[in-house]
Each structure stands twice: as structure tokens, then as C-alpha cells.
Chain A
Amino acid sequence: MDRFNKVADYAIIKPLFFDGMTLLFGGFGGVGTPPTLVDCLIESGVKDVHLIGNDAGFPWIGIGKFVCLKRAVSLIASHIGSNPIAGELMHDGALKVEFSPQGILNERVRSGGVGLNGFLTEIGKGTLLAENKPLVTIQGKEYLYESPLTGDLGIVYAKKADTFGNLVFDKTARNNNPLIAMAAKTTIAEVEEIVDMGELDPEEIIVPGAYINYVVPTRGINWKWIWEMQGK
């Protein structure tokens, strides 16, 4: 593969998904979840997937479309409130859900992506989420140990990429994408616009291309707001 031209098509991407993989996905309530890569994941037919991301999307948006197909076996997320089907699957035991406080989850992903071994925090102490987490005492004060998160594959959405994979984001569609982009063995970025190297202002690049393995052009966002889908 040309390390300076990572632009790929979906025929190259689809075989990268595999049964039993751990998949990190970017996005917050579906905003910034790469829509064409989720469709590609669905078309790939893979199953028994372990998901890591902020939430379960909506049933019609983001990772929610995949979750509803019951092909994910576990999800580490901060909430699933926007996807009632994820709640039903969890309740029925078909989807194992581990909740992590939102910012702690992002730091766990970051920790995995930047070669660290986790961190200590007081967030969550004395709550259900502290169960099964090691307690560490330092200078008389107790902290929870939070482990790093990594995965086989990461999928992110960005506004623009150059052919090296340097990424520029789009307002609140940035959210956790820069963290997710760093944490997987292989990362695919779906973008609205692809430019030549040298065309992005180096100061505007949020994720350096060293973290990115493939760049694919989006086939469109097809966004639906909550109120457009209520009652459907």
C-alpha cells in the first residue's frame, strides 16, 4: 500500500471487517458516525462484534442500525438511552453492555490510542460502575483504576482528509472521532472531501495521518433528526 495515498474504495474496506472483531466507532448520538462505513459493516455480514463507542445511536442512525441487527455481542458505551432496541437486547441478554462515564470512556480510548496503560480517577467511586474495578490507594486516597481500550478496527468521520490521512473535522461532528482514530490497529476515515497533500493548513489538522490507514469518500450523510422519525 502506498503510505502517502491511502484513498480506498468500499470493495477494499469490506473484507477488513471480520467475525468477533472489536470495532471502535466515532460519533455522538449518531452525529459524526461514518454513515457509509456503517452500511459497509452491515453489508459485510460479520457477526459477534464487540463494539466500543459513546452510545448506541438511534435505531435508524449511526451504529444503531447495526446494533438492531443483533450482530453485536457486546457494547462499551456511556449510554444507550437513544436506542430502545439496544435496551431490549441488553435486557434479553443478547447484548452485553458495559457502561462507562462519558469522559472516562473517552480517556480510556485515548489511553489506548496513545500507548498508556490506563489511569486513576475518583469518578464513579461509590457507584455501581465501580464494581469489578481495582481500587488503588495512593497517599491515603482511594482511586478507581480505569483500563485502556483498543480494538481491531476503528471507523471515524471527518470533513476533509488529504491522501496521507491527515484529518480536519466538522464542528460537533468532531466529538470523539479524534480519540477513536488513535485507538485501533487499523483505522478507516470516511470523509466528505479528499485533497492532495499540502492543501490542508497544518495548523487545522486535528488527527495526523500517521493514525489513519484508509480514507474513503462518503456516499452522503442521510441524516434524520429525532423529530423526523418519531412515531415511525
Chain B
Amino acid sequence: MGDARQIIANRAAQELETGMTVNLGIGIPSLIPNYLDPSTRVFFHSENGLLGFGPAPKVNPDWALSNAAGYPVSIVKGGSYFDSTTSFGMIRSGRIDLAILGSLQVSCNGDLANWIVPGKRVPGVGGAMELAYGAKRLIALMQHCEKNGQPKIVTTSTLPLTATRCVRRIITEMAVFDIDENGLTLAELMPGFTVADIRNHTEADFALSDKLNE
């Protein structure tokens, strides 16, 4: 069995469907292309001004052809370059079908916290607020609990928010949850986990999907 991050990325890769315009955040989401079925054809969007990028070239990476995380990529047929306002215009106006972001906490109503841990980590928000606001569908990826065991799926976030009521699905190494106006629903169990395991490691209350029972 691989580590939790790889398990999450592998499951998240199944969320991509042919024809989608997709933005992957840094961290776990950046591992998703490794698990993407080759028959699934999507256009990846990168905040720095690139739509339609592919794997890094094997030789001679070009500083002027990289993704938002600063790693070299290639451009696919039909890809384009544009300035940062066009890039974010695309995000805010709903042209991104699916955004998958790493997360620190998600609350049961879909509030996302992924940019600051006051007093500890203050990297800044980057493009996360706009992706959370504008993407047609937002999926949050994270390990189910903190290293100290503290649950990250919570009733009310204890961290400053990135955006309110924006996350529609959460994928962890233990489970998949959906969020709608009725709140949080446990949709899938990842291999090796039971509903009781999820209850023991999730602070927020959740309903069970029709496919699952206690």
C-alpha cells in the first residue's frame, strides 16, 4: 500500500472526465496526472498563463515553460499562453470545470481553509480564493487527520477561511464525502476503512449515502 498522499491522488484522478478544463493546486493535487487514465483527455489550466499543458520534457526544460508550482511542463496541441488577468478571468467567470485543491480544513457546510495557519505558516493565498469562488466544481484533498490525530473535517473551521461554502467533495485516504445544501454525506469508504473508523476520525456530523450502512 502506498502512502496516504498517493492513495488520495489515485482516487482523485477518477474525478477527471474527458473534455474538462481542470486546475490542480500544489501539493497532493499535483500528483494526480500520474494516475490519470490515458484515455481521459482534459486541458490543464495553470494560473501563470497556460491552458493545455502536458508532462515535463525529458531533456532541456525551459524556464519560460513551467507550471504555477515552478516545475517545467510541455504544451499540448491546442494549448495557449496568456497574461495573468486573462488567466484569472477564466477562473472567476466559471470557465474552469473542476478545481482540485489541497486543504488544511473543510467544514461540513463546505467552507475551505487552506492558506494560513496563524503564527505558524503564512505562505499567502495565491490563487486559491478565486478558484474556490469561480470553479464550477471544487474538490478538496487532504489527509483525514493532522499528524497529532486531530480531525480536519470539522463543524466549524478553526482556521482563517479561504472561501465559504465552496467545497463540493472531499477526498481523504479514508473516505470520500459530498457536500450540498443539506450538509456532509459520507459517499465512499476507501479500502480498509469502516463507517465506524470514519466516525471516530471526523469531528463533523455526516449522513450516510444510500450505498453505505453503519
Decide whether A and B are members of one complex. Answer: yes
User: Could you list which residues of chain A lie within 8 angstroms of chain B, going by C-beta atoms?
Assistant: 28-32, 54-55, 58, 77-82, 87, 90-91, 97, 99, 101-104, 106-107, 110, 122-129, 159, 169-179, 206, 221, 223, 225-226
Are B70 and A29 in contact, with the CB atoms below 8 A? yes
Are B124 and A81 in contact, with the CB atoms below 8 A? yes
Q: Evaluate whether A122 and B133 lie within 8 angstroms (CB atoms) in the complex, with A54-B84, A173-B64, A175-B48 already known.
A: yes
Are B70 and A226 in contact, with the CB atoms below 8 A? yes
Are A78 and B124 in contact, with the CB atoms below 8 A? yes
Are A106 and B84 in contact, with the CB atoms below 8 A? yes
Instruction: Kindly state whether residue B82 has any CB partner on chain A within 8 Å.
Output: yes
Which residue on chain A has the smallest CB distance to residue B162? A127
Are A173 and B63 in contact, with the CB atoms below 8 A? yes
Are B84 and A103 in contact, with the CB atoms below 8 A? yes
In the assembled complex, the Cα of A77 lies from the Cα of B75 at a distance in Å of 27
Instruction: Kindly state whether residue B161 has any CB partner on chain A within 8 Å.
Output: yes
Residues of chain B in range 133-187 having any CB-CB distance to chain A below 8 Å: 133, 160-164
Are A175 and B49 in contact, with the CB atoms below 8 A? yes
In the assembled complex, the Cα of A177 lies from the Cα of B63 at a distance in Å of 15
- Chain B, interface size: which category? 35 or more
| Cβ contacts A to B, 19 pairs, < 8 Å | A28-B68, A29-B70, A31-B66, A31-B70, A32-B64, A54-B84, A55-B124, A103-B88, A103-B130, A127-B163, A128-B116, A129-B129, A172-B66, A172-B67, A179-B83, A206-B83, A225-B72, A226-B70, A226-B71
In the assembled complex, the Cα of A58 lies from the Cα of B163 at a distance in Å of 27
Are B92 and A126 in contact, with the CB atoms below 8 A? no
Are A110 and B85 in contact, with the CB atoms below 8 A? yes
Are B124 and A77 in contact, with the CB atoms below 8 A? yes
In the assembled complex, the Cα of A126 lies from the Cα of B109 at a distance in Å of 15
Are A172 and B49 in contact, with the CB atoms below 8 A? yes
User: What 6 A-B pairs have minimum CB-CB distances, sorted nearest first?
Assistant: A103-B88, A81-B123, A79-B124, A173-B64, A223-B63, A102-B127
Which residue on chain A has the smallest CB distance to residue B72? A225
In the assembled complex, the Cα of A110 lies from the Cα of B86 at a distance in Å of 11
Residues of chain B in range 91-150 having any CB-CB distance to chain A below 8 Å: 91-92, 116, 122-130, 133
Residues of A within 8 A of B129 (CB): 101, 104, 123-124, 127, 129
Which residue on chain B has the smallest CB distance to residue A103? B88
Residues of B within 8 A of A102 (CB): 47, 84, 88, 125-127, 130
Residues of A within 8 A of B48 (CB): 28-29, 31, 172, 175
In the assembled complex, the Cα of A93 lies from the Cα of B124 at a distance in Å of 16
Are A171 and B81 in contact, with the CB atoms below 8 A? yes
Residues of A within 8 A of B126 (CB): 78-79, 81, 101-102
Digitize B51-85: 1 where CB-to-A-CB distance is under 8 Å, 0 elsewhere: 00000000001111111111110010000011111
Residues of A within 8 A of B10 (CB): none
Are A174 and B161 in contact, with the CB atoms below 8 A? no
Are B124 and A107 in contact, with the CB atoms below 8 A? no
In the assembled complex, the Cα of A223 lies from the Cα of B62 at a distance in Å of 9
Instruction: Kindly state whether residue B46 has any CB partner on chain A within 8 Å.
Output: yes
In the assembled complex, the Cα of A106 lies from the Cα of B49 at a distance in Å of 12
Residues of A within 8 A of B128 (CB): 101
In the assembled complex, the Cα of A91 lies from the Cα of B61 at a distance in Å of 35
Which residue on chain A has the smallest CB distance to residue B132? A123
Name the distance in Å between A92's Cβ and chain B's nearest Cβ.
Answer: 12
Name the distance in Å between A209's Cβ and chain B's nearest Cβ.
Answer: 17
In the assembled complex, the Cα of A104 lies from the Cα of B163 at a distance in Å of 14
Are B130 and A104 in contact, with the CB atoms below 8 A? yes
Name the distance in Å between A31's Cβ and chain B's nearest Cβ.
Answer: 6
In the assembled complex, the Cα of A178 lies from the Cα of B84 at a distance in Å of 9
In the assembled complex, the Cα of A174 lies from the Cα of B63 at a distance in Å of 11
Are A172 and B124 in contact, with the CB atoms below 8 A? no
Among candidates A122, A127, A179, residue contacting B161 with C-beta atoms closer than 8 Å: A127
Instruction: Kindly state whether residue B6 has any CB partner on chain A within 8 Å.
Output: no
Digitize B24-66: 1 where CB-to-A-CB distance is under 8 Å, 0 elsewhere: 0000000000000000000000111110000000000111111
Residues of B within 8 A of A104 (CB): 88, 129-130
